């Protein structure tokens, strides 16, 4: 018979979904005393400090041992053959008297510790083996939307979230940062803003995230030595702040800055005279002017010029067949031959800067699960609402890590529970009705309110065809309205995730009003069908008042 703790472990789901997770029918108490034995390769990285923060009661000479190292370290020599031959891979083994964390590299060891952190949340540690690695080399987020940039506090929470979810890239490029683009891209950041960026860079390192700083010079760049020198000086100033990842954006511009030849010349110069000279920075990235298929003019040769002349080590960002589109095999078969490299995917979801009255809290679906060998990265552009974006980002991390195992609905439910475990049901109700973009310029839509759609359709059909009320359908819709009202109240009153509730409060108020309005409309329908004029007038009066209140809500 299995213990309660073992049952909990069986129901437990590691995030992101590992490549292989094998548990035995047994578990071990989380040790009160233990000794950590580490290899030389993890001494300077964030893996060892994270491990010690999770298991703070280290005692020299304790019988329970925790071994951590990287392939080649003597301390884990016995387990070398179990380490995946994949970048950022790791092998984790939990036994009765020891824990082993063996990484293919330093980041792999760190991810092994992050997996252990999740297992330590259980009442007991399952005797288990995890063999794991990511499908996509670079996974993360680009803060690249129009509108209010994230706050310093939100970015710090984001970077911690990336570390826990095994995302390794954050690209800083908010369109409304004047020192990122026109007019001040040539100027260094003021002291206060520079110090804030330095804090973020250090926080990224603690979470084993590459902090990319992007510059957006294309709208007013002059193709001369002076601007080239100023751009390199700006990069040098960012390097001094600790930045070790750099990108140049040429998206959403017009005029002379759109020249492929000039862009290539500048980027190759940056690569040879900055990236290679420094020797310790991540691959250079660029966002092209023609960054999606819809805008590509094959006869003009823009992408062919990039593919043929841009140094092959420079990554090229790509949003897909349109500005906002899901990514699949045909997408990659079109663009990769032109770029002569695997595209660095910039997925414009859940970004909402073109539908700012909407929250996009639904499931992440529509991308191919057979494209892991066709892309170099999968990076999400999120909403200006940083905490609310985590529902989608959680699943994007899950998808990019292990595409074969990705199940969108299950991942979405886990994401909701991750953000508000104490109010997961209420948040799920709210999120299920706040996922579609509505009509928009990019013709990109998402499923919304699917659970109640059949009842609504039956209700409307019966009323429009025969002027009657379909009782069962009306009852189902009424119950959903009641759930909406109660969910809004529970979330508004909750102190479980203050940052999230603060972001979504206007929508929660509107959501409750909408539930109340729906309930009154159903009362009107019942009163009309039953010939109860007084009740009809009463419900209609309340419904009109609710309409007035809904119009006053603004976000």
How wide is the angle at C-alpha 519 spanned by C-alphas 516 and 522, nearest 5°? 150
Residue 283 CA to residue 137 CA, distance in Å, equals: 12
- Contact 102/90 with Cβ under 8 angstroms? yes
Please tell me which residue in 26, 177, 220, 252 is annotated as part of the active site.
Answer: 252
What's the whole-number mean pLDDT along residues 335-346? 98
Q: Using one digit for the tens of pLDDT, what is the confidence trace for 520-542?
A: 999 999 999 999 999 999 999 99
Which residue is it, tokens 């929250």?
Answer: 359
What is the pLDDT of the chain when averaged over all its residues?
A: 95
Residue 132 known to be catalytic: no
pLDDT of residue 70: 98
Among the listed ranges 103-112, 237-246, 463-472, which one has the minimum average pLDDT value? Answer: 463-472
Residue 404 CA to residue 21 CA, distance in Å, equals: 14
CA distances from 132 to 48, 380, 416, 517 (A): 19, 23, 24, 49
Indicate whether 230 pLDDT > 70: yes
pTM: 0.96
Four-residue CA torsion sign, 95, 406, 143, 284: positive
pLDDT of residue 9: 47
Residue 365 CA to residue 376 CA, distance in Å, equals: 19
Q: What is the DSSP string of 306-351?
A: HHHHS-TTSEEEE-BSSSS----HHHHHHHHHHHTS-EEEEE--S-
Q: Using one digit for the tens of pLDDT, what is the confidence trace for 279-307?
A: 999 999 999 999 999 999 887 799 999 99
Bridge partner list, 70: 103
Residue among 270, 274, 208, 203 nearest 241 (CA): 203
pLDDT of residue 555: 60
Indicate whether 554 pLDDT > 80: no
Phi, psi of 449 (to 5 degrees): 55, 35
Indicate whether 310 pLDDT > 50: yes
Token pair, residue 200, equals 């973020």
CA distances from 74 to 37, 60, 79, 232 (A): 11, 19, 10, 42
- Contact 370/402 with Cβ under 8 angstroms? no
Q: Using one digit for the tens of pLDDT, what is the confidence trace for 409-422?
A: 999 999 999 999 99
Residue among 469, 515, 464 nearest 488 (CA): 515
What's the whole-number mean pLDDT along residues 130-153? 97
Which residue is it, tokens 């039956």?
Answer: 458
Residue 249 CA to residue 232 CA, distance in Å, equals: 14
Q: What is the DSSP string of 31-65?
A: PSSBEEEE-GGGSSSSHHHHHHHHS--B-TT-SSE
How wide is the angle at C-alpha 212 spanned by C-alphas 209 and 214, nearest 5°? 160
pLDDT of residue 11: 64
Residue 210 CA to residue 261 CA, distance in Å, equals: 29
- Contact 388/418 with Cβ under 8 angstroms? no
Residue among 477, 459, 553 nearest 513 (CA): 553
Q: Which of the four pLDDT bands, split at 50, 70 and 90, describes residue 151? A: very high
Share of the chain above pLDDT 70, in %: 98
Q: Which of the four pLDDT bands, split at 50, 70 and 90, describes residue 3? A: very low
pLDDT of residue 57: 87
């Amino acid at each position: 018979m299995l213990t309660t703790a073992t049952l909990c472990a069986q129901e437990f789901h590691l995030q992101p979904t590992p490549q292989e997770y094998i548990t035995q029918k047994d578990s071990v108490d989380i040790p009160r005393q233990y000794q950590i034995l580490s290899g030389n390769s993890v001494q300077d990285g964030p893996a060892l400090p994270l491990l010690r923060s999770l298991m703070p009661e280290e005692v020299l000479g304790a019988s329970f041992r925790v071994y951590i190292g990287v392939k080649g370290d003597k301390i884990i020599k016995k387990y070398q053959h179990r380490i995946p031959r994949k970048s950022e891979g790791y092998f984790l083994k939990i036994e009765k008297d020891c824990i082993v964390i063996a990484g293919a590299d330093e980041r792999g060891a760190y991810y092994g510790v992050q997996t252990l952190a999740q297992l330590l949340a259980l009442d007991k540690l399952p005797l288990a083996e995890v063999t794991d690695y990511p499908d996509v080399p670079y996974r993360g987020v680009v803060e690249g939307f129009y509108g209010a940039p994230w706050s310093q506090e939100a970015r710090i929470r984001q970077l911690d979230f990336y570390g826990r979810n095994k995302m390794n890239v954050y690209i800083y490029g908010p369109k409304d940062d004047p020192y990122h683009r026109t007019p001040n891209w040539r100027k260094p950041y003021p002291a206060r803003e520079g110090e804030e960026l330095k804090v973020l860079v250090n926080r990224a390192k603690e979470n084993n995230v590459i902090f990319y700083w992007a510059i957006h010079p294309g709208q007013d760049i002059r193709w001369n030595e002076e601007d080239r020198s100023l751009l390199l000086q700006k990069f040098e100033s960012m390097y001094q702040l600790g930045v070790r990842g750099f990108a140049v954006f040429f998206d959403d511009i017009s005029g002379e800055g759109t020249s492929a030849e000039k862009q290539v010349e500048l980027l190759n110069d940056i690569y040879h005279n900055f990236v290679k000279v420094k020797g310790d920075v991540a691959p250079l990235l660029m966002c092209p002017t023609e960054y999606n298929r819809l805008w590509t003019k094959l006869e003009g040769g823009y992408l062919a010029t990039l593919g043929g002349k841009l140094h092959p080590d420079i990554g090229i960002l790509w949003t897909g067949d349109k500005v906002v589109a899901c990514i699949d095999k045909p997408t990659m078969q079109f663009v990769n031959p032109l770029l002569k490299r695997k595209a660095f995917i910039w997925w414009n979801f859940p970004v909402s800067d073109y539908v700012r009255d909407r929250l996009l809290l639904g499931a992440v679906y529509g991308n191919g699960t057979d494209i892991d060998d066709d892309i170099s990265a999968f990076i999400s552009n999120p909403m200006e609402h940083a905490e609310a974006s985590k529902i989608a980002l959680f699943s994007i991390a899950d998808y990019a890590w292990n595409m074969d195992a990705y199940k969108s609905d299950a991942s979405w439910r886990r994401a909701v529970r991750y953000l508000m475990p104490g109010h997961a049901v209420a948040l799920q109700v709210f999120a299920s009705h706040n996922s579609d973009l509505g009509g928009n310029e990019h013709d990109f839509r998402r499923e919304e309110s699917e659970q109640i759609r059949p009842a609504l359709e039956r209700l409307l059909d019966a009323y429009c065809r025969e002027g009657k009320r379909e009782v069962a359908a009306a009852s189902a819709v009424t119950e959903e309205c009641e759930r909406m009202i109660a969910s809004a109240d529970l979330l508004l009153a909750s102190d479980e995730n203050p940052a999230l509730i603060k972001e979504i409060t206007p929508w929660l108020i509107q959501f409750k009003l909408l539930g109340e309005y729906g309930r009154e409309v159903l009362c009107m329908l019942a009163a009309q069908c039953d010939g109860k004029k007084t009740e009809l007038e009463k419900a209609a009066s309340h419904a009109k008042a609710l309409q007035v209140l809904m119009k006053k809500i603004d976000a």
